[in-house]
Amino acid sequence: MFELPSGAEIQSIIASLQASVGFFIPEIYLSLLFMLLIVIDLVAKGRKNNLLAITTLVGLAGSFFFIYQQHALPAGEFFFGMYVLDEFALFFKYFFVLSGMLAVVITMADEQFDSEVKSIGEYYALIVAMVIGMIMMACSSDLLMIFLSMELVSFTAYILTGYFKRNARSSEAALKYLVYGAVSSGLMVYGFSLIYGLTAQTNLIKISAELATHGYDPLVMIFSTLLVLAGFGYKIGAVPFHFWSPDVYEGAPTPITAYLSVASKAAGFALLMRFYYIAVPHDGHAYEDILGIDWLSLLILLSVASMIYGNVVALWQKNVKRLLAYSSIAHAGYLLLGIIVMDELGTQATLFYLLSYFLMNFGAFYVVILIANKTGSENLDDYRGLGKSMPLAGAALTVFLISLVGLPPTLGFIGKLMIFSALLAKGSLYMWLALIGIMTSVISLYYYMLIPLNMYLRESRHHEEKQLSPGMPAQIFMAVLMILTIYFGLFFAPLSDFAKYSSAMFGLTLH
Amino acid sequence: MEQLTTIGLNHYLTISAFLLGFGLFAVMTRKNAIVVLMGVELILNAANINFLAFSKYNGGMEGVMFALFVIVIAAAEAAIALAIVINIYKIFKSVDVSSIDSLKE
């Protein structure tokens, strides 16, 4: 049935592969770093030395050089349409490498690692592997590549979540993450198989062309879109695919919680945008014969449900990590608003919001770790009086939380402002969505402000006013994050310009 | 009658739809973590049958390639899943998903 390729064909395939490698250098570099870290771990045993962490930090920082060089390359597909390079992909490359570095910094500060594990082992190597996987997620332009990169990220995330293997909560979180993840990725692959059946293509751009020229069965299309959405929705943690997230966020080691809630979510959004903007038809009238539902209305449903559910359920949370987990569900809803807008302004707003979420969420988790180092607890009640005993940590956490609510003068305010103004720029059509967004932000004010309330206005139970200092490097790092959150809230032009520059997606036929 | 006797694309798709249904049923109703993971394997194999059937009737090679990768990924997933489940068994002395709920507020 299939003939063997001739010699000339093989030569041309090899030549094409060789040409493609030039576009793949950051990923190759990061893979080498991954292997190097495993070797270093084997050679230099021992928990206490920070050799591995420093190597990871320096190595990840080194990849900026290679990513920066890619700005000179033309946007396009390579590796036979498997992989794509464009400004949108570059944005996420920077984003994931930076979040990997922050995850390493936060891990170095977390003292729970000293008591829970004998040796840090492959931990840092897995973080690098996850960076590679997420970069591939943002760059893949083929259903096969999407599936493989998503599984690479998921598998490393399962292991990292259960990294405290003698800790019951961490292991349980890993099991829950695994079960939900396996089911949703299975459903996603089934959806892919239906799309392959409809179009006989796996490349996103070719799928789009095929659907446009030959038409499709709307029922099959909406069914496969729904199945694919199960996979993506799980990655971004949106309702109703969110069941794993509170348990996983609470049980996982806190640096991994921060890493998952920012980077893995952003990778899901990158995929979601690329898949729905490029592959699936979006002229609006395509599905009208099936109850008037298309993928856009599905996303609107997801977004509204996430904003309401995340913000309302967070009101009852007593554990700060769990509270931030519900808040991250709500933020997935806000980010989806930017995707629903479906134009350049919306993409820019989503990317900008991701940047602001990156800074404030990592900051908040960093402070939570520093506080847990001193008090050994993540419960809201144990935050009483911390404003006096840890003044800088209290101030920093308050700034991050104000930013998460979306109040000026912080970065989070600008992020929400951009999302809502992108919605309103579409006309009155999405006015009600913006209203729901604003109303739920008001609800979120209550539970976010519970934390500063406990820290500043309620007395500590212990009645001992001793100063708890998290150490000089941690103080400086915390202060830098705090100042950046406020600084970019006032002078946001560079970030928003960068987001605008990055909103160019290869093969986009949207406008 | 001819519909039933000559095997066509629809036969493959029906079997794969049944497999998907069984897989989802196992995932939703079973309490044992291992059985839940077996349900996931059924879902993945339903997708595989789809890919191979479409590949056979569309004439493209992509579906075969996709199915091969899904098999590899399923093997890797089983390795990680069993490691996690064994660890769970060591701690909780059970692999019953519903009884492992220390993470409730």
CB atoms within 10 A of CB B25: 12
Query: Between chain A and chain B, how many beta carbons pairs sit less than 8 Å apart?
Result: 121
Residues B14-26: pLDDT tens digits?
Answer: 999 999 999 999 9
What is the full DSSP assignment across A312-348? HHGGG--BHHHHHHHHHHHHHHHHHHHHHH-SHHHHH
CB atoms within 10 A of CB B4: 7
Which among A138, A16, A18, A13 is positioned nearest to A83, based on CA atoms?
A138
In the predicted structure, residue A387 carries a pLDDT above the cut 60? yes
In the predicted structure, residue A429 carries a pLDDT above the cut 90? no
Question: Region A231-257: what's the mean pLDDT?
Answer: 93
In the predicted structure, residue B53 carries a pLDDT above the cut 90? yes
Please identify among residues 27-66 of chain B the ones whose CB lies closer than 8 Å to any CB of chain A.
27, 33, 36-37, 39-40, 43-44, 46-48, 50-51, 53-54, 58-63, 65-66
Residue of B nearest to A1 (CA): B59
Q: What's the pLDDT band for A292 if we cut at 50, 70, 90?
A: low
At residue A283, the pLDDT reads 58
- Note the residue count of chain B: 105
Residue B42 maps to a domain: yes
Distances (CA, A) of A314 to A63, A74, A291, A336: 38, 45, 33, 19
Q: What is the 8-class DSSP label of residue A140?
A: B
At residue A245, the pLDDT reads 93
Which among A273, A255, A464, A485 is positioned nearest to A375, based on CA atoms?
A464
Rounded distance, CA A380 to CA A456, Å? 13
In the predicted structure, residue A326 carries a pLDDT above the cut 60? yes
- The range of the structural domain enclosing residue B54 comes to 31-96
Residue of B nearest to A164 (CA): B87
**Contact A32/A116 with Cβ under 8 angstroms?**
no
Residues A345-363: pLDDT tens digits?
Answer: 999 999 999 999 999 999 9
**Of residues A5 and A303, which shows the higher confidence score?**
A303
Contact B84 A194 (CB under 8 A): no
In the predicted structure, residue A251 carries a pLDDT above the cut 70? yes
At residue A95, the pLDDT reads 96
**Of residues B83 and A390, which shows the higher confidence score?**
B83
Distances (CA, A) of A199 to A97, A206, A213, A218, A501: 35, 8, 10, 13, 32
Rounded distance, CA A220 to CA A192, Å? 11
At residue A255, the pLDDT reads 95
At residue A324, the pLDDT reads 94
Contact A168 B40 (CB under 8 A): no
Q: What is the 8-class DSSP label of residue A80?
A: T
- Note the residue count of chain A: 511
**Contact A204/A274 with Cβ under 8 angstroms?**
yes
Residue B9 maps to a domain: no
Q: What is the CATH number of the domain that holds B90?
A: 1.10.287.3510
The DSSP H or E segment spanning A37 is: helix A25-43
CB atoms within 10 A of CB A296: 16
Q: Indicate the SS3 state at residue A213.
A: helix
Q: What is the 8-class DSSP label of residue B32?
A: B
In the predicted structure, residue A282 carries a pLDDT above the cut 70? no
Q: What's the pLDDT band for A65 if we cut at 50, 70, 90?
A: very high
Residue B8 maps to a domain: no
At residue A216, the pLDDT reads 81
CA torsion, points A230, A233, A235, A237, in degrees to nearest 10? -130
Residues A103-127: pLDDT tens digits?
Answer: 999 999 888 888 888 878 789 999 9
In the predicted structure, residue A377 carries a pLDDT above the cut 90? no
At residue A458, the pLDDT reads 83
Share of chain A above pLDDT 70, in %: 95
Name chain A contacts of B92, Cβ cutoff 8 Å.
168, 172
**Contact A90/A70 with Cβ under 8 angstroms?**
yes
Compute CA B19 distance to the chain's CA centroid, rounded to the nearest angstrom. Answer: 8
User: Angle at which helices B33-58 and A168-199 pack, to 10 degrees?
Assistant: 20
Residues A122-134: pLDDT tens digits?
Answer: 899 999 999 999 9
Q: What's the pLDDT band for B103 if we cut at 50, 70, 90?
A: confident
At residue A463, the pLDDT reads 58
A115 Cβ contact list (under 8 Å, min separation 6): none
In the predicted structure, residue A56 carries a pLDDT above the cut 80? yes
Residue of A nearest to B100 (CA): A172
Mean pLDDT of chain B: 90
Residue B102 maps to a domain: no
**Contact A23/A80 with Cβ under 8 angstroms?**
no
Q: Which of A168, A175, A190 sits opposite B84 (nearest CB)?
A: A175
Q: A202 — contact with chain B (CB < 8 Å)?
A: yes
ipTM of the complex: 0.95
Radius of gyration of chain A (CA): 23
At residue A115, the pLDDT reads 85
Mean pLDDT of chain A: 90
Name chain B contacts of A196, Cβ cutoff 8 Å.
50-51, 54, 62-63, 66
A359 Cβ contact list (under 8 Å, min separation 6): A403, A411, A481, A484, A485, A488
Contact B76 A155 (CB under 8 A): yes
Q: Indicate the SS3 state at residue A203.
A: strand
Beta-strand pair A83-85/A76-78: antiparallel
Adjacent-strand bridge partners of A203: A142
Residue B101 maps to a domain: no
Query: What is the identity of the amino acid at A370?
Result: L
**Of residues A462 and A83, which shows the higher confidence score?**
A83
Residues A11-50: pLDDT tens digits?
Answer: 999 999 999 999 999 999 999 999 999 999 888 876 556 8
At residue B2, the pLDDT reads 66
Question: Region A90-99: what's the mean pLDDT?
Answer: 96
Name chain A contacts of B85, Cβ cutoff 8 Å.
175
At residue A279, the pLDDT reads 85
**Of residues A48 and A472, which shows the higher confidence score?**
A472
In chain B, the number of structural domains is: 1
At residue B1, the pLDDT reads 61
Question: Region B23-35: what's the mean pLDDT?
Answer: 93
Which among A82, A131, A403 is positioned nearest to A264, based on CA atoms?
A131
Contact A172 B101 (CB under 8 A): yes
Stated pTM of the model: 0.94
At residue A2, the pLDDT reads 64
Residue B46 maps to a domain: yes
**What's the per-residue H, E or C state across A252-311?**
CCHHHHHHHHHHHHHHHHHHHHHHHHHHCCCCCCCCCCCCCCCHHHHHHHHHHHHHHHHH
Share of chain B above pLDDT 70, in %: 95
A78 phi, psi to nearest 5 deg: -150, -175
Structure tokens at A179: 């079960």
Compute CA B93 distance to the chain's CA centroid, rounded to the nearest angstrom. Answer: 26
In the predicted structure, residue B3 carries a pLDDT above the cut 80? no
Q: What's the pLDDT band for B28 if we cut at 50, 70, 90?
A: very high
Residues A157-181: pLDDT tens digits?
Answer: 999 999 998 999 999 999 999 999 9
At residue A214, the pLDDT reads 84
Name chain B contacts of A184, Cβ cutoff 8 Å.
none
Calculate how close chain A gets to B1, using CA atoms only, in Å.
26
Calculate how close chain A gets to B60, using CA atoms only, in Å.
7
Q: What's the pLDDT band for A470 if we cut at 50, 70, 90?
A: confident
Rounded distance, CA B96 to CA B18, Å? 26
Contact A190 B46 (CB under 8 A): yes
Residues A395-406: pLDDT tens digits?
Answer: 999 999 999 999
Residue B6 maps to a domain: no
Q: Indicate the SS3 state at residue A74.
A: coil
**Contact A338/A353 with Cβ under 8 angstroms?**
yes
CA torsion, points A360, A162, A371, A398, in degrees to nearest 10? 20
Rounded distance, CA B13 to CA B11, Å? 5
Name chain B contacts of A316, Cβ cutoff 8 Å.
105
Which among B56, A425, A313 is positioned nearest to B48, based on CA atoms?
B56
Q: Which residue blocks in A320-430 are alpha helix, DSSP H? A: 320-341, 344-375, 386-389, 391-405, 411-425
Please identify among residues 127-156 of chain A the ones whose CB lies closer than 8 Å to any CB of chain B.
143-144, 147-148, 151, 155
